[in-house]
Structure 1
Amino acid sequence: MANFVLVAGAWLGSWAWDEVAAELRAAGHGAYPLTLSGLAEKRGAAPAGQQAHVADVLAEVAEHDLREVVLVGHSYSGIPVGQAAERIGDRLERLVLVDANVPVAGESFADQIPEPAALRADLAAHGGWWPPLPVAEFAGQGLTTGQIARITGRATPHPGASLTEPAVLEGPLGELPALYVKCLLDWPEPPPVVAGLVADGRWRLAELDTGHWPMFSRPAELARILGGS
């Protein structure tokens, strides 16, 4: 059985994984949902950087002396989780990226989105923090009204420094054993770098017919994919 370190994307904390963690534990796995620095119960005065988030993941593995580790990164968190995956050596069983950004050496999260200037302006206007999405942004993502209310009710501003700090990689990410979970309602195709790795047979691809937040909309199905990954 594996030990899953579960890291949600922007604005979310460990609470986002409650249902998925319960499913994994019921199947006999270890589940360690993680809140990154600056979010949820770890909110602080200064926005945490991306390398602080990498350190959060590494510290979780070390604190529990985890082996056979499956690092799971959702959305933004694919970037710090992907960096952490190559730094835990033989403790890593596999990397799983759930509708996630993929770390590229020298690139930040902001570099990967269509309008980086707009994001940077938003951060500047909010003291270095990225405000949570409004309710309307969750439409068409396979979520119930109650699930949307849960997300928006508990979301906290995301530390902007983590979005503008570039990733640091020691080697090609494609050398790691990995699965990419694509949520089809959000966008039907994985990022080009992922499509290339899948086509080369280095990474595997799974698809979920739901939106960008499957830990809320399809927790049992997501847990089954993670457990069988």
Structure 2
Amino acid sequence: MTRFVLVAGARLGAWAWDEVAAELRAAGHEVHPLTLSGLAEKQGVPAGQRTHVQDIVEEVERLGPCDVVLVGHSYSGVPVGQAAERIGDRLARVVFVDADVPVDGASFLSGWPSDHVRQAIDANDGFWPVPKADAYAGQDLTDEQIDRIVAGSTPHPGATLTEPAVLERPLAELPATYVKCLLDGDELPPAAAEPLKSGNWELVTMDTGHWPMFSRPRELARILHASATGS
């Protein structure tokens, strides 16, 4: 039995993991999907990058003295990666699902053409707004799945995207799996490509889009199971 803490990407809450969590529980694992501050049922809670890191650390502490596998999707790879190094011996593994990987001193918006995101945040009272359905086209999602994502999403606190990450040691030292979703492009983020050379990280690919918890939940659950158990 493995304890998983699952954290979805921008605009999403714990609900996004419903199908994956059900598969993992059926395999005998303990699963704790986490909603970050300012999102979903936690809307209205002020949040910056440090808040989201603390959300994850506090969830691990709440679970008691146990090993956990931290899973971060998309944006949440940034706070999950920082939390992973803070929980020390309680980390069994960290899994980045088509995720951004934190870089010390850099924000989620660093290193890619993100002026449009900053402008959207400025124009929407400090929040990154929910995109329209056509933003999810070509990602192996059914119309029903797209409708579910759009309906369940909430605007994302902009400060969590612009505040820099803080790392105390190289992420390459942590045991990690990077899951690359190929329909979202086959090029790895530079911050993930380098640690994959370390021998502590493994690479797994999925022939699906950026939201595999919706498009391929059973396959993603199998990958998470294998990353935790080595089977």
| Shift of residue 134, structure 1, vs aligned partner | 1.0
Work out whether residues 37 and 56 of structure 1, in 8 Å CA contact, stay in contact via their aligned partners in 2: yes
**What letter matches 1:218 in structure 2?**
R
Partner of 1:120: 118
Partner of 1:204: 202
Partner of 1:36: 36
Unaligned runs of 5+ in 2: none
Unaligned runs of 5+ in 1: none
Residue 227 to residue 66, structure 1, CA distance change in 2 (3 Å): farther
Partner of 2:191: 193
Partner of 2:7: 7
Identical aligned residues as a percent: 64
Work out whether residues 179 and 205 of structure 2, in 8 Å CA contact, stay in contact via their aligned partners in 1: yes
Partner of 2:91: 92
Partner of 1:74: 73
* 2:58 counterpart SS class: helix
* 1:169 counterpart SS class: coil
- After TM superposition, which residue ranges in structure 1, 4 or more long, deviate above 4 angstroms? none
Relative to structure 2, which stretch is displaced further, 2-11 or 59-68? 59-68
1:118-140 C-alpha deviation (Å, 9 max, x unpaired): 22111110000000111111000
1:93-115 C-alpha deviation (Å, 9 max, x unpaired): 00000000000000001113322
Relative to structure 2, which stretch is displaced further, 9-18 or 185-194? 185-194
1:171-201 C-alpha deviation (Å, 9 max, x unpaired): 0011000000000001112112322222342
Q: TM-score by structure 1 length?
A: 0.96
Work out whether residues 53 and 80 of structure 2, in 8 Å CA contact, stay in contact via their aligned partners in 1: yes
Work out whether residues 3 and 66 of structure 1, in 8 Å CA contact, stay in contact via their aligned partners in 2: no
Tell me how far apart the structure 1 counterparts of residues 66 and 175 of structure 2 sit (CA, whole Å).
15
* Equivalent residues, number: 227
Root-mean-square deviation (CA, aligned residues, Å) is 1.1
Partner of 1:161: 159
Tell me how far apart the structure 2 counterparts of residues 72 and 34 of structure 1 sit (CA, whole Å).
10
* 1:228 counterpart SS class: helix
Relative to structure 2, which stretch is displaced further, 59-68 or 133-142? 59-68
| Shift of residue 8, structure 1, vs aligned partner | 0.2
Query: Is 1:26–2:4 an aligned residue pair?
Result: no
1:122-179 C-alpha deviation (Å, 9 max, x unpaired): 1110000000111111000000000000000110000000000000111001100000
Work out whether residues 102 and 191 of structure 2, in 8 Å CA contact, stay in contact via their aligned partners in 1: no
Q: TM-score by structure 2 length?
A: 0.96
